[in-house]
Amino acid sequence: MLRLFPFLLLALSSFGADGVTAGAIRWDAWSGGPITREVERTLSPEAHRRRLPWFAQLDDKGAVRLNGAAEGVMEQEIAYARRAGLDYWAFLTYPEESEMSGALLRYLGSPKRGEIGFCLILHQSLGVPEGRWPRELSRLTGLIGEKGYQKIGGRPLLFVFESDDLGAPAAARLEQLRQKVAERGHAPYVVHMGWNPANDFTERRGRGFDAVSAYAEPSAEPDYGRYVAKLEARAWQGAKKAGAPYVPLVSTGWDKRPRQDHPVSWEKNPEYATQKTFPAAPTPEELAAHLSRALDFVRNNPETCPARTVIIYAWNEHDEGGWLCPTWTSSGRPDTSRIEAVAKALGR
């Protein structure tokens, strides 16, 4: 009992006896600039248009146009996220001047922001040039101190994606950030996003990480049911067997065929370029069942899941293969079936 007490205290202080929170990853390529032009091309073919975000438009020549920066789009997204019952968005964080930071800035400026919390996923920000780091450090510290920032037992939740790719400076920068945030009250609860939780925590437990998780789950398994069954066995159960503190990943899919048809500039010689099969898109019922099993896994395994949260891939990775955000239809009425299914699974 004494060994369990710290984990139970963390859970009870945050969410009540049975509360499990759910967040969804945001990768915001839809707000303008060269990245938006590329994802417009990936999702323009007729076969992929069912994956377009709900605010997509077709011009008079039938070409896809995406403007996530349009007035009212963020407010409607917040309404959809609240309807789904999500607790927070996890924003993949870019330097402030990047067009990829537009959605985070609009969220922070929205009068509706209080309806859903947020946290950060660090990668790009840890790799800025040396001369830019002091400014970025100050900005990140400020963001983590913002009202509505998601917390785990009073500690700000901070995901870090593949920081090893950025070399030794990233580790030092992460430690600087940890210290700056701790000076303001509570050290952040830092979760490494890798690919193999059973090994990831062993390799990083002495480097300041509190838990492990993942950003996504690549696969060539064509059946969604078998795809998530393998994820649950390999990652969830693997973390449990290894004794690794874990934030379960819930996957809405992984189908990168749009990027096979129209390669994107930020992925060089990707392995999926010649991949023949990808997981089928889930039905809303399949997605809800997968999420429900994740919630049960957290409730039933407090030692493995002390943070009592799950992370969903993704809110809006439309062209990579995973989304909850409602999608465009030719009728003009967005398809909200996924968020309705998620709401049922979350009991909201």
In this structure, of 11-15, 32-36, 143-147, 156-160, the range with the lowest mean pLDDT score is: 11-15
pTM above 0.75, yes or no: yes
What is the average pLDDT across 119-148? 96
Phi-psi region of 85 (alpha: psi -120 to 50; beta: other; left: phi over 0): left
- pLDDT at residue 233, rounded to an integer: 98
Spatial neighbors of 243 by CB under 8 A, at least 6 apart, are: 303, 304
pLDDT in tens, 172-194: 999 999 999 999 989 999 999 99
| 12 pLDDT tier (thresholds 50, 70, 90) | very low
User: Among 170, 176, 182, which residue's Cα sits nearest to residue 137?
Assistant: 176
**330 CB-near residues (< 8 Å, 6+ apart):** none
Question: What domains sit in the chain, N to C, each tagged with a CATH number?
Answer: 5-29+70-346 (3.20.20.80)
Q: CB-based contacts of 280: which residues, under 8 Å, 6+ apart?
A: 222, 223, 224, 253, 255
Task: Identify the pLDDT of residue 199.
Answer: 92
User: What pLDDT does 324 receive?
Assistant: 98
